[in-house]
Chain A
Amino acid sequence: MKKAMKIIIILTLTAILITLALPFTAFANDWTRPRERFIDEVGVLTDAQATELSAMLDEISIRQNFDAVVVVTNTMDTNNPRRYAADFYEQHGFGFGQDLDGILLMIALQPERNFAVVTTGYGQYAFTSAGLIFLEDLFLPYLRNDRFFEAFTAYANAVDDFITRARAGDRYDTRNIPLTPAQRTEARIWAAVISVGLAAIIAGAVVGGWTRQLKSVKSRDFACDYVRKGSFALNLQRDIFLYRNIRRIPRQQNNSGGGRGGGFSSSSGRSFSGRSGRF
C-alpha cells in the first residue's frame, strides 16, 4: 500500500513538474501564440486602424519568423531610450527563436516626442547602421506630421522588405540604400533646377561662341612673330630658397562601418542594435 502511495505521489509530482515546465519551452518557440504586436497606451489610432495595423504586424511577423512590434507610450526614459525600448521588448516576451529575432518601434509623445527602434537576434544582421537610418527616413516624416497610421504601416512594410532582402543575401547597406520618397522628390526638384541652369549655360556658351565668330579685329599685344631667331639669352638664373612652412592637420578617424547598427546591451545583457531620437 505504501509502495503504491509512493508511486502515486511520484507520478503526481512528475505530472506537476511537466505541467509547469511545458509553458516555458512553448514560450520561446511558439510563434503562433496570440500576442499584441501593436500596443497603444495613448490612443493615437482609431480602433479600425489599430485592428488593421495589428493584423498587418501579425501577418508579417509570422510569415517572416521575425517579430515586428509597435509601441506607443505616454513617456519613456529620455536618457537612454534605446535601452528602455530593449527592456520593454524583453520583458514583454517578444522575439522568435532562441535569439529572440525581432524589431520594436517605440514612440512616446511626452515629454519630448521621442522614438527608439531596437532590434536583436537576426535583426542585428538584417538592419545595418545605414539600414537603420534608411528605415528611420521612411517613417519619421509621417510621425513629424502626426500621421501615425501611415508611419506605422510604412515601418511595417519596411521591416518586411528588410527581412526579405536580408534572407535573399542582399541586405540594405551603404552600397544599396535607395532614396526615400522625400529624398527622391527633393532630388527631382534639384535635378530640374540644375538641368535648367546647365541648359542656360550651355546654350549661352554656344551662342556666345557664334557671336565671337563675328569679331575678328583684335589687337596683338605680343610680337612673338618678330623675335630674332637664336637671340634669346638667359644670362641670369637664380633660384633662392627663402624659408619653409609646415602645416599639419589631424587625420580624421574613420568611425563608419557597415554591418550591425549601433550596438548596445539591454538590462539583462542581451545584445541589441538600434537608433533613437526625436520627431
Chain B
Amino acid sequence: MAQLEYKCPNCGAPLGFEAGTQEMTCEHCATVMDVEALQCMDDEVAAHQEPDAAQWEYEGTNWEASEAEGMSVYTCNSCGGEIVGDETMGAATCPFCGNPVVLTAKFSGALRPDMVIPFKLDRAKALESLENHYAKKKLLPTVFKDRNHLQEVKGVYVPFWLFSADADGRFEYRATRIRRWSDARFHYTETSFFRVIRGGKLGFDAVPVDGSKSIDNTMMESLEPFNMNEKEDFKPAYLAGFCANKYDVEAGDCAPRANERIKNTTTNEFNKTVMGYHSVTPVNASVRVNCEGVRYALLPVWMLGSTWEGKNFTFSMNGQTGKFVGDLPLDKSARNRWFLKLFGIIAASLLVLTQVVITFL
C-alpha cells in the first residue's frame, strides 16, 4: 500500500503528524503547519491547469479582380521587400533599405486586408518630427543634422496581424509577511509564510504583430500603440499616394510573439493583485491563450531613410499618432569630452566642499 507523504514547504523534508498538537511538524527545520492549510495547498496544486496551446488560424478573403487591377508589385533587389502600389508610382527607392525597386509584376495573389487605419499625418509632419527628433541630443554628431543626408520619405502601409484573445491565467506565489517587536531583552522578528493563488481571465483586442520580413519588428513595436478604434474597412482607395508592403510572414508564424506579449501582460496584471506582503516570489505561472480571431490590417507608417558615414539610418513615424522613433549615431569624441568636462567640474566642486567641511570638524 502506498504511503502518503507530505513535504515541508520550508525545507523539503518529510512532515510528520504531531498527535499532541494535532499539527504537521517538520523534524528537520521545526516548521509547524496546520493540517487544514496543508490540505488546502495540496488541493490547489492538484487543480493545476494545463499550459496553453493556442491555435491561430486565418482564412481571410482574396482580392477581387477589379481591386487588383491598376496595382503593381515592386521588388527591392537588395532586401527583397515587396511593395504594392498603384501603377502611377513608377520607379522608386525601397522605403526599408533605400535601394532602388523595380516593377516586377502586375498585382496578384496575397490576401486582401480586413482593415486599415488611414494616414492622419502627412509628409511635412514627418519631416518636422525628424527635426524634433534631432533636437536636444547633446551626443548626436552635428553634421548628422544636415538635411542633405535624408534620402527618402515614404508613407507605407505596413501589414500587421491583429490577434484577439482571452487569456486564462493561474498563478502561485510564495509570500512572506514580517512583524517586528521588542521587549526588554530581545528584538523579535516573526516571518509568516503564505502560499498565494490567483486565477482569472483577461481579454485582449487586436494585439498587432508586424507581418513583413523587410521591416524591423522592434521598430514597429516601438511605434505602438495604434488606436484601433479608428480602423476602417479596407478599400484600395486608401493606398492612393502611398505604398503598401505585402505580408510575407504568416499569421501562425507571428502568433508566438502575440502570445508572449499577452502572457506577459496577463502575468503582470495578476501580479498586481498580490498585495499586503513584504516579499512575493512567483513559483508557478500558467496562462492559456484562447484565440478569438486574427485579422489582417494595414497600419500607417512614415519611413525616413538616411545615410551617414556609409551607414543607413532608418526612422519611422506612426502615421496615426505621430510617435517618432529611430536610433541615432553617437559622437564618441563628444561623449568623452563631456564626460571629462563633467567629471572635472563635479570632482573639483566635491573636493573643495568636502575639504572645507573637514576643516571645521
Instruction: Tell whether, in the assembled complex, residue B9 and residue A243 are in contact, meaning their CB atoms are under 8 Å apart.
Output: yes
Which of chain B's residues 212-271 have a Cβ closer than 8 Å to chain A?
Answer: 216-219, 221-222, 224-225, 228, 258, 260-262, 264-265, 268-270
SS class, residues of chain B in contact with chain A: mixed
Residues of B within 8 A of A200 (CB): 343, 347
Residues of A within 8 A of B195 (CB): 239-240, 242
Query: A219 interface residue, CB < 8 Å from B?
Result: yes
Q: Mark B28-41, 1 if CB is under 8 A from A, else 0.
A: 00011110011011
Query: A198 interface residue, CB < 8 Å from B?
Result: yes
Query: B198 interface residue, CB < 8 Å from A?
Result: yes
Query: A233 interface residue, CB < 8 Å from B?
Result: yes
Query: A247 interface residue, CB < 8 Å from B?
Result: yes
* Cα–Cα, bound, A268→B33 (Å): 66
SS class, residues of chain A in contact with chain B: mixed
* Cα–Cα, bound, A232→B202 (Å): 5
* Cα–Cα, bound, A209→B170 (Å): 39
> With A202-B346, A206-B342, A239-B194 in contact, do A217 and B202 touch (Cβ < 8 Å)?
no
Residues of B within 8 A of A191 (CB): 351, 354-355, 357-358
Residues of A within 8 A of B326 (CB): 216-217
Query: A145 interface residue, CB < 8 Å from B?
Result: no
Which of chain B's residues 6-57 have a Cβ closer than 8 Å to chain A?
Answer: 9-10, 31-34, 37-38, 40-41, 44
Residue of B nearest to A183 (CB): B361
Query: B142 interface residue, CB < 8 Å from A?
Result: no
Q: Tell me the minimal C-beta distance from A181 to chain B in angstroms.
A: 12
Instruction: Tell whether, in the assembled complex, residue A195 and residue B347 are in contact, meaning their CB atoms are under 8 Å apart.
Output: yes
Residues of B within 8 A of A210 (CB): 137-139, 335, 338
Size class of the contact patch on chain A: 35 or more
* Cα–Cα, bound, A236→B274 (Å): 12
Residue of B nearest to A222 (CB): B265
Contact of A240 among B40, B138, B140, B344 (CB under 8 A): B40
Q: Tell me the minimal C-beta distance from A226 to chain B in angstroms.
A: 5
Which of chain A's residues 192-228 have a Cβ closer than 8 Å to chain B?
Answer: 192, 194-196, 198-200, 202-204, 206-207, 210-211, 213-228
Instruction: Tell whether, in the assembled complex, residue A199 and residue B343 are in contact, meaning their CB atoms are under 8 Å apart.
Output: yes
The stretch that binds B, out of A10-18, A78-86, A147-155, A248-256, is A248-256
Query: A237 interface residue, CB < 8 Å from B?
Result: yes
Instruction: Tell whether, in the assembled complex, residue A242 and residue B354 are in contact, meaning their CB atoms are under 8 Å apart.
Output: no
Residues of B within 8 A of A215 (CB): 327-328
Instruction: Tell whether, in the assembled complex, residue A237 and residue B273 are in contact, meaning their CB atoms are under 8 Å apart.
Output: yes
Q: Tell me the minimal C-beta distance from A272 to chain B in angstroms.
A: 31
Q: Tell me the minimal C-beta distance from A242 to chain B in angstroms.
A: 5
Residues of A within 8 A of B265 (CB): 222-224, 227
Which of chain B's residues 330-345 have a Cβ closer than 8 Å to chain A?
Answer: 330, 335, 338-340, 342-344
Size class of the contact patch on chain B: 35 or more
Q: Which of A188, A231, A241, A247 has the most CB of B within 10 A?
A: A241
Contact of B190 among A188, A225, A232, A246 (CB under 8 A): A246
Instruction: Tell whether, in the assembled complex, residue B218 and residue A217 are in contact, meaning their CB atoms are under 8 Å apart.
Output: yes
Residues of A within 8 A of B350 (CB): 194-195, 198-199
Query: B66 interface residue, CB < 8 Å from A?
Result: no
Instruction: Tell whether, in the assembled complex, residue B325 and residue A217 are in contact, meaning their CB atoms are under 8 Å apart.
Output: yes
The stretch that binds A, out of B83-91, B112-120, B178-186, is B178-186
Instruction: Tell whether, in the assembled complex, residue A238 and residue B33 are in contact, meaning their CB atoms are under 8 Å apart.
Output: no
Instruction: Tell whether, in the assembled complex, residue A203 and residue B346 are in contact, meaning their CB atoms are under 8 Å apart.
Output: yes
* Cα–Cα, bound, A223→B262 (Å): 6
Residue of B nearest to A242 (CB): B193
Instruction: Tell whether, in the assembled complex, residue B139 and residue A226 are in contact, meaning their CB atoms are under 8 Å apart.
Output: no
Q: Which residues of A contact B (CB under 8 A)?
A: 178-179, 184, 187-188, 191-192, 194-196, 198-200, 202-204, 206-207, 210-211, 213-228, 231-251
Given contact pairs A188-B354, A233-B200, enumerate 10 new A-B contacts (beta carbons under 8 Å). A203-B339, A204-B339, A216-B133, A231-B201, A231-B202, A241-B193, A242-B38, A249-B189, A250-B185, A251-B184
